[in-house]
Amino acid sequence: MINKVNEVKLFGGRQIRYEHPSSVLNCTMQFSVYLPPQAEQQPVPALYWLSGLTCTDENFSSKAGAQRVAAELGIALIIPDTSPRGEGVPDDANQAYDFGLGAGFYVNATQAPWNQHYHMYDYIVQELRELVEKELPVTQRRAISGHSMGGHGALVMALRNPELYTSVSAFAPICHPTQCPWGHKAFSGYLGDDQAAWQEYDATELLLRLRKAPPMLISQGEADNFLAEQLRPDDLANAIAETGVEATFERHEGYDHSYYFIASFIEQHLRFHAEKLFN
């Protein structure tokens, strides 16, 4: 069951925020949805957007400018939060931005105390998907995209569940988290020292092992201050070249890690997904 928190009209459609009790995350969750005008007549396909560190379900809906194109194409936008929240949900002791609240990394935590709530992978792939398709006018045609930590999550979910998603795209994703500081901190905290468990949430390692993927589009700004240390796009680009999967990896001179970058290319990503969603 979902409860509407608020709603505004936008480009003929509706931007809505919902809340619901999550059995997977053991808390109450909020998520945002854009329903295009076409959804008033019939169910529409959906794009799931996974946001990055420190974000909530409202960053993308307010900053990316995606609704205009989604309204034209007839695609719903499903925008979950980035972590469990609420009373009793643990946070990093130092309230660091890259672990704990706002930084769920889209994994299923196995280490206490995080394993009581931080199951963002199952939440997105299963619980939220089933809830959305039961309660909202969307079809079972779905794509997935995201930014930074959310780009990592989108790639991992699509690689591990190619039957669920027609396509996947990412803006400045954390491409090789087992080999970067953000990933080391998150994975050691949520998953412990088991390196095999880490690799299950690493897009580069998954692609090299599975050697297949849904159609993929990746955009990376060349002026991104996290480029070399945290994102490691060359590692994923090399894996794409080695495996020969259907993928476009674009690099954009002068663009940084912000929502200005996302807003500049979100139309391209939505049209890429539309080609797959409506085929």
Q: What are the catalytic residues?
A: 148, 224, 257
CA dihedral 70, 140, 7, 97 (to 10 degrees): -80
List the one residue out of 178, 173, 133 whose CA is nearest residue 153: 173
What letter does residue 203 receive in the DSSP assignment? H
Instruction: For residue 37, report the phi and psi dihedrals to the nearest 5 degrees.
Output: -60, -30
* Pairwise CA distance, residues 219 & 213, whole Å: 17
Mode of pairing for the β-strands spanning 76-80 and 27-35 = antiparallel
Q: Are 110 and 190 in contact (CB under 8 A)?
A: yes
**Amino acid letter at 277?**
L
**Amino acid letter at 182?**
W
How many CB atoms neighbour CB 54 within 10 A?
14
What contacts 190, CB < 8 A, 6 or more positions away? Answer: 105, 107, 109, 110, 111, 114, 118
Q: Are 82 and 52 in contact (CB under 8 A)?
A: yes
Q: Are 172 and 257 in contact (CB under 8 A)?
A: yes
